[in-house]
Amino acid sequence: MRKVFVDVVVKFTKDGQKIPLTVIWEDGKRFQIDKVTDVRRAASLKVGGQGMRYRCRINGKETFLWLEDDRWFVEAK
């Protein structure tokens, strides 16, 4: 596994929440997030790093997206 920093389209709510809407991969391919099911502070034990972990459903599959020091990353194979 490797840590991949990605671009993310985010909705900012009036009460300060960050809701990720779309992940943009290294090659420019876009993945729309169907639903965010959980948000909590956590560490990535597979690739290192920590921050706010967003449990997301993309194309029916569960994945994690981290916000670490104002940068978004995912665990990639």
Instruction: Report pTM.
Output: 0.93
The whole domain housing 16 covers: 2-76
- Side chain identity, residue 48: G
Average pLDDT over residues 15-34: 97
pLDDT band, residue 77 (cuts 50/70/90): confident
> Do 1 and 66 form a contact (C-beta atoms < 8 A)?
no
Average pLDDT over residues 14-38: 97
Q: Environment class of residue 12 by beta-carbon count within 10 Å: exposed (0-12), middle (13-18) or buried (19+)?
A: exposed
